[in-house]
Structure 1
């Protein structure tokens, strides 16, 4: 956890003042029992009322000063800790944005959400406690011991017996509880994953009447987390009763032996009262430390998980000496490209070679699992090739800055994703400074203008979370408009027409051909009708190219392509 405190540098001055105010608060608390002892031994015993009033008034001033210091220290500690949490969340978020799909697959989306929210909150809360309790507890303990010894060295023998017992109890309880805190965070991840799958997949769950099954899944994860939490709370809950038991026995011992020393004339009544208060301060300081022992292990488990994210180096990174692509044409070339997913024994695609130039439409077709989406995911470097090269404008994409490469690409994913906001904001996501005219033109080309105009508010109509208030075909058309508005050199459509009817599909392809005359277009599709008019059709089978050419050429030369065509079209349509 200490490694994370580097992000508190902007609050160094505030932390110094927290420690300073805490020190003065501690001095105030330590001075009050001495003043009270003087009132008893001098004012009350001798009947000196003016002395009682003067010292009592001074006690009020000391108390007020301690209160002001306590408030100031609490305010600065809270401000520093919450600012630290804000910086840490921002740092984790910006780092995660650089992750490749491999890192997301390795950690998991649900776990990343938990680490960015729950784990950082745990560290933030403990930081507040460290700045307050961890600072004041040692001061109070050491100062209490010094002041207690100054009052009566003989009576401190009781403390020499009590303090080791307290320390041993704290150590034993904390040792049993610490391993469970890490388990709790893992179980929170599991619960978050189950809940996320349940909420995002509600339509599927209801359509298959699997509500009872999902309820059982959630209850299992929930009960597992609850059982572990109860177990650790039982262990940690034993700490306070043990502390109070030892404190009460210590109080009895101090009063008993202190009374005997008063009888023998070795101690005054006021000194006994002050000693008792100093003993309580020492005990309470140890209780503060015990509370920290409860919180710190859980925060440490969270800090380890946060550091795991921050220390994870993305597999894909920018080159140290990036190159320029030369003439900006948008040409793409695959040279003997092979790719393995992490941990896979067989390649997803093998020995892929082809060229695609501006003004051309290259279509990729094949059966499920043939490697179509994998192939085009390599172009924007969502993954890096295992062997071979991908060239854009004659330059290996690994020699380009990722931002520069992706600025050249208009990518439409297989699963259309919309963000919360207006339709215009979703289309403008492809180009921040797009004008209203550019947005409307992109929507018109994407065949989205008609349904947008029918919505209340038109381009200012709100899109709900995940685009749940529009149909699948409408989401696809808005995703296509988002890519069109940036007017890139390369368009990549990953099965982006699957939810469209045949008429809309045909109209969209015709509009795209006119719109992308100077750009390179790659289309992944399942429908033969979508790819028939392409300048080049690549047929994939089990990750390899099984045929390449125009529709007519492939019908004559590729058995795989003919099988796909005959499975979708009638003899009349083929003819």
Structure 2
């Protein structure tokens, strides 16, 4: 919670306003028992009716003033907690955006959503209600303790005799509830992940008729969640009644001992009533200690989990003297590049010299390192050995924003937002004009199906592009990359869902674009790569063949074998003019 205070102290004005309102309200409340004493001892017993109006008006004035101060206090604390919640969510989201691909390879979406949702809300609740109320009750306890000792030290000692035991139980409750809530918070992330994955994959579930299986899986997680919450409830049930019992014993002791003092004429009835009211100012903090402990413990546990994420240091970040490159031409060199992932080498000793504006095609078996190779260019992953240079500068020395802003990537996993087609394409370049978007759609062959949509560019597509075919989603993704008009374009198996004619037209459009980009095409079909300036064939992280279409066919190596497999049914290789 110490780190949360840094967020809180940004809004000192509201802390001061809430504190002043709280202190004045508490001071006014301290006069109530005294006025009740005056009412009993002087007005009722001594018939000093001239004080009645003063006492009643004072009680009414205190009540009205405390109501206004209570509103000011609550508004200030609610505003403060809301601002802290906004800042915390913004910083957490911003930090998540800064983390590399590798972090998300092992992190569930549901867990991140839990941290940004329920965990931040727990912090908000503690600031809005818990911390302010805890401070208020602490002040009440301290001031009331001083007052009861000034009124009658003997009776005050009787009142406070149970307090150390109550404090011990509260500390034990805080520790056990904290452990229980930590387990609940972790399992909530699992529950959210299960629900998120199932809802996102509901079509797959239905396609395999696995509804019952998924329901049972969720039921098991839900039952575990129930068991953990019941464990927390049992902890409450074990400790809270004891706190209640000890608090009530304090009241009983005051009544018994105070009654004997009244009988012995050493204490007036008014003083006993006033003393009892001050005792309740002690009792309420003690009775609320369990509830406050629960709120603050939950917030503390949630804050730890939030800052566990925020403490993850981005492995890939700018150097202090990073090179600004507002203009990138696109020449790329790999020099003895190796890449290790989870202690295993994915790529080893890669050497490439790619001139700006050239087209490089990459083929290879599944898992050979094709995607890893292009991901290293934009530093989505960090190389383990060697160097990669762009326009002569090592990518590790270039400002990451400048580097990636000059790259456009269409990944294997096509992702579209639940927005209009126009907004999805415009995501590649928020400053793009309608003519630029239209040109990108033409080059990506989006026009072929766009005209059939009633609302055209304003058509709202479903989550992740549901409602569109695989080929349509790929073409929209390519249009989004083209509208960026970048220096480096990466198509990672981006035409796999296209038919041969559409793929041919799309690649032809790319080849004839005015602004020639350095283009990387990862594909499995010869038709997608045969016109590239350079073709790489990868196997087990090594470049085993390199050249253009003609030279690789002449080598009769692995590229030739793939070519032969794809065209053997309708083409005689010996007669092919290449």
Q: C-alpha separation between the residues in 1 aligned to 2:189 and 2:381?
A: 26
Q: Provide, for residues 28-69 of structure 1, a one-character-per-residue CA deviation record: whole Å limited to 9, x for no partner.
A: 222101110110011000123332232111111112112211
Q: C-alpha separation between the residues in 1 aligned to 2:64 and 2:325?
A: 71
- Which runs of no fewer than 5 residues in structure 1 stay unpaired? none
Q: C-alpha separation between the residues in 1 aligned to 2:153 and 2:42?
A: 21
Aligned to 1:88: 88
Aligned to 1:23: 23
Q: Aligned-pair distance for 1:516?
A: 6.0
Q: Aligned-pair distance for 1:261?
A: 0.7
Q: C-alpha separation between the residues in 1 aligned to 2:175 and 2:401?
A: 48
Q: C-alpha separation between the residues in 2 aligned to 1:166 and 1:7?
A: 32
| Structure 1 residues 161 and 324, CA gap change in structure 2 (3 angstroms) | closer
Equivalences for residues 274-353 of structure 1 within 5 A: 274-323=274-323, 328-341=328-341, 343-344=342-343, 346-353=344-351
Q: Aligned-pair distance for 1:148?
A: 1.6
Task: Say whether the 8 Å CA contact 1:336–1:387 is kept in structure 2.
Answer: yes
Task: Say whether the 8 Å CA contact 1:4–1:307 is kept in structure 2.
Answer: no
Aligned to 1:560: 558
Are 1:355 and 2:353 matched, yes or no? yes
Q: C-alpha separation between the residues in 2 aligned to 1:328 and 1:78?
A: 49
Equivalences for residues 379-458 of structure 1 within 5 A: 379-458=377-456
Q: Secondary structure at the residue paired with 2:310?
A: helix
| Structure 1 residues 386 and 503, CA gap change in structure 2 (3 angstroms) | same
Q: Aligned-pair distance for 1:192?
A: 1.3
Aligned to 2:272: 272
Aligned to 2:244: 244
Q: Aligned-pair distance for 1:326?
A: 9.8
Aligned to 1:101: 101
Q: Provide, for residues 449-481 of structure 1, a one-character-per-residue CA deviation record: whole Å limited to 9, x for no partner.
A: 121122121111112221112111111101100
Task: Say whether the 8 Å CA contact 1:370–1:543 is kept in structure 2.
Answer: yes
Aligned to 2:530: 532
Are 1:550 and 2:548 matched, yes or no? yes
Are 1:170 and 2:164 matched, yes or no? no
Q: C-alpha separation between the residues in 1 aligned to 2:550 and 2:569?
A: 15
Task: Say whether the 8 Å CA contact 2:160–2:250 is kept in structure 1.
Answer: no
Q: C-alpha separation between the residues in 2 aligned to 1:409 and 1:284?
A: 63
Q: Provide, for residues 473-527 of structure 1, a one-character-per-residue CA deviation record: whole Å limited to 9, x for no partner.
A: 1111011001111211111100000111111111111111101662211100011
Q: C-alpha separation between the residues in 2 aligned to 1:245 and 1:163?
A: 12
Q: C-alpha separation between the residues in 2 aligned to 1:175 and 1:320?
A: 43
Q: Provide, for residues 386-431 of structure 1, a one-character-per-residue CA deviation record: whole Å limited to 9, x for no partner.
A: 0111111121111111111012111111111111221111111111
Aligned to 1:520: 518
Task: Say whether the 8 Å CA contact 1:28–1:66 is kept in structure 2.
Answer: yes
Q: Secondary structure at the residue paired with 2:143?
A: helix
Q: Secondary structure at the residue paired with 1:421?
A: coil
Task: Say whether the 8 Å CA contact 1:337–1:389 is kept in structure 2.
Answer: yes
| Structure 1 residues 211 and 563, CA gap change in structure 2 (3 angstroms) | farther
Q: C-alpha separation between the residues in 1 aligned to 2:209 and 2:551?
A: 48
Task: Say whether the 8 Å CA contact 2:319–2:397 is kept in structure 1.
Answer: yes
Q: C-alpha separation between the residues in 2 aligned to 1:171 and 1:521?
A: 63
Q: Aligned-pair distance for 1:119?
A: 1.0
Q: C-alpha separation between the residues in 2 aligned to 1:95 and 1:416?
A: 24
Q: Aligned-pair distance for 1:311?
A: 1.6
Are 1:510 and 2:511 matched, yes or no? no
Q: Secondary structure at the residue paired with 1:538?
A: strand
Task: Say whether the 8 Å CA contact 1:325–1:395 is kept in structure 2.
Answer: no
Q: C-alpha separation between the residues in 1 aligned to 2:570 and 2:247?
A: 95
Q: C-alpha separation between the residues in 1 aligned to 2:337 and 2:437?
A: 36
Aligned to 1:45: 45
Q: Aligned-pair distance for 1:106?
A: 4.6
Q: Aligned-pair distance for 1:545?
A: 0.7
Task: Say whether the 8 Å CA contact 2:130–2:295 is kept in structure 1.
Answer: no
| Structure 1 residues 200 and 264, CA gap change in structure 2 (3 angstroms) | same
Q: Aligned-pair distance for 1:241?
A: 2.4
Moved more, 480-489 or 4-13: 4-13
Q: Provide, for residues 345-383 of structure 1, a one-character-per-residue CA deviation record: whole Å limited to 9, x for no partner.
A: x21111111122234221000111111111111111110
The ranges of structure 1 where at least 4 consecutive aligned residues each deviate by more than 6 angstroms after the TM superposition are: none
Q: Provide, for residues 273-315 of structure 1, a one-character-per-residue CA deviation record: whole Å limited to 9, x for no partner.
A: 1111111110101223332211222211111111112221100
Task: Say whether the 8 Å CA contact 2:92–2:310 is kept in structure 1.
Answer: yes
Aligned residues: 573
> What's the TM-score once normalised by structure 1's chain length?
0.96
Q: Aligned-pair distance for 1:324?
A: 5.3
Q: Aligned-pair distance for 1:129?
A: 2.5
> What's the TM-score once normalised by structure 2's chain length?
0.96
Q: C-alpha separation between the residues in 2 aligned to 1:444 and 1:438?
A: 10
| Structure 1 residues 262 and 501, CA gap change in structure 2 (3 angstroms) | same
Q: Secondary structure at the residue paired with 1:399?
A: coil
Q: Aligned-pair distance for 1:223?
A: 1.3
Q: C-alpha separation between the residues in 2 aligned to 1:131 and 1:20?
A: 15
